[in-house]
Structure 1
C-alpha cells in the first residue's frame, strides 16, 4: 500500500501569504476599551485574533473586568483606569516585566459626562471638558509614552475618532472638539516618536455607530437613524466595517500611512443633500 503522505505537496507560498494577508499572526497587540460585544474595540480584537495575533486587553475598572469576564474568558485582561497615571505606569511595567513586545496598540477609549443631559456647547463646564479631554485624548499620549520601550520599532497605534470634527452636531455635545484634539495629536506623536522609531499613529474617523456607549448619549439614536437615511446605500455603518479599517492600519500592509484620520462613514458625508431627505424636511416645514 502506498503512503499518500510520503511525498506531500509543498505548500503554495501564494496561498500562505493570502491566508495571512494582514501579517498579524504571531504578533501581540494591546487593545484598550472593550466594554461589551458591541464595542469597536472588541470587533477589532476579534479580527486580530482571527488573523492569528495575540491580544492583551485592558478594562477601566474591577467592575468592568467582572462584567466582561465571560466575554474575555481565557484571555489576558489588565485593569487600567487611564485617569490614573499610576495605573498607566503599572500597565507598562507589568508588560515590560513579562517581556511583552507590542506590534500594535488600539486606543478605543472615550468618555463624556452627559449626566445632566445635552446642553448648549457654551454651557459646557470646565470639569466636563477637562475630564473628557483627559480620558478621551490625553490618555493616548500618556499610554504611548508609558509603553514606548515595549513597542516594536515599526509598531502601529490606532485610535477611534469621528467622521468630522467640524460639524456642530447637537447629539454629540462637546465631544467633537475633544476628538479634534485627539486627531491633532497623531501628527505630533508621529513626529516625536520618529526620533527613535518608525511607530505609526492613525485614527479611524468613524461615522455614527450603534454601540452601547452611543446609546447613552441623549438624542444620539435619532441622529443615527438620520444617518441611515443619508448614507447612499441606505444601510447604516457597521461596527465591523470600522474594525476592518483599524485592523488594516494595525498591520504592516498600511506601513505607508501615518498621522492620518481615515474617514469610514459609508459615504454619509457626500450625500447630505439627498433629494428624498431634503424633500422630507421641506415637506415637513410646509406642514
Structure 2
C-alpha cells in the first residue's frame, strides 16, 4: 500500500513535464493518491499529463480570481468528499520587474507578484477549508531567495519570504483542526520558470561544487520531501521550512576548490 493510498488532493503549478510540481504529481500517483490539477493557460498540455496519472480533474484556476479559486475547491471537494493535500507551486513576477532590481520595482508589479505568489496560499486554504479533514496537509514550494539575497531573484525573493511567513501563521490557525502547513525550499532545478532568471545557468553550474553533497537536486529529490509532508509520516510536523538543496543553504563561504580545508 502506498503512503498516499486513499488520499485525494490538488496540485497546482504544473506547466510542463519539467515542472517540480509534475515530479511531485508522478510520485504521488505512484504512492496511490487521487490528484486534481489546475492550470492557467496550458490546458492541452496539462490534460495530457493528467491522463498519464489517471486524473480526470483538470480545471482552469487564475489565482487572482477569487470566485474561480472557490469554484475549483468546491468542485473537487464535492466530487471526492474531501481534500487531503494541496500542493502550492504558484509564483510569478514580470520579467522586466525582475531585471530592473528591487529599488525600481513598480507598485503594480509588487502587488501582482505578492498576490499571485503569496496571497494565493491564503486563498487556497480558505476555500479548501470546508473539505479539509484531520490529517490534511498543505505544502508550498519556496526558494533560498526568501531569506538570502540571490542575484536576479529580486522581487520573487520578497514574495517567497511572504509565502514562508504566511505558511507559519496558517499552520498556527489550522493546527487545532489537525491540518498541517509546511514549506519545501528547493535548490535550483532546470524548469521553464527557472530559465527566466538572468543568471540561472551559472547558478546551477556553481551550486553542485559549493554544496556539502556536491551535487544539484532534481524534481524527484524535491518530490520525496513533499511526499513526507503530505503523508501521515509527518503528522506531528507543521509550520516548517525544509531545504532540499544538497545542503547549500548552510554554507557561508567557499574556497576556490569547494573544500573548507
Fold in common (TM above 0.5): yes
Partner of 1:69: 47
Find 1:55's aligned residue among 35, 38, 41: 35
Number of aligned residue pairs: 256
Would the alpha carbon gap of residues 278 and 228 (structure 1) be closer, same or farther in structure 2, given more than 3 Å must change? closer
Could you tell me which residue of structure 1 aligns to residue 142 of structure 2? Answer: 161
Q: Identify the residue that residue 173 of structure 1 maps to in structure 2.
A: 154
Deviation at 1:277, TM superposition (A): 4.8
Unaligned runs of 5+ in 1: 1-18, 280-287
The counterpart of 1:114, out of the listed 95, 102, 123, is 95
Q: Distance in 2 between matches of 1:154 and 1:166?
A: 29
Which ranges of structure 2 fall in alignment gaps of 5 or more residues? none
Distance 1:100 1:211 in 2: 33
> 1:1-287 to 2 correspondence within 5 Å?
19-20=1-2, 23-61=3-41, 64-73=42-51, 74-75=54-55, 76-115=57-96, 118-195=99-176, 197-277=177-257
Cα deviation for residue 234 of structure 1 reads: 2.8
Q: Is the 8 A contact 1:164 1:205 kept in 2?
A: no
- Runs of 4+ in structure 1 deviating by more than 4 angstroms, as ranges, are none
Q: Distance in 1 between matches of 2:202 and 2:132?
A: 41
Report the TM-score, using the length of structure 2 for normalisation.
0.91
TM-score for both structures, normalised by structure 1: 0.84
Given the superposition, is the C-alpha separation of residues 233 and 95 from structure 1 closer, same or farther in structure 2, using an over 3 Å criterion? Answer: closer
Tell me the secondary structure at the aligned position of residue 212 of structure 1: coil
Please give the root-mean-square deviation of Cα atoms over the aligned residues, in Å: 1.8
Cα deviation, 1:98-144, whole Å, max 9, x if unaligned, reads 24311111011111111466122111111111111111100000011
Separation in 1 of the partners of 2:40 and 2:133? 25
How far does residue 35 in structure 1 lie from its aligned partner after superposition?
0.6
Give 1:69 deviation, angstroms.
2.9
Larger radius of gyration: 1
CA distance in 1, matches of 2:87, 2:123: 14
Q: In 2, Cα distance between the equivalents of 1:118 and 1:170? A: 10
CA–CA distance in structure 1, aligned partners of residues 156 and 204 of structure 2: 16
Cα deviation for residue 192 of structure 1 reads 1.7
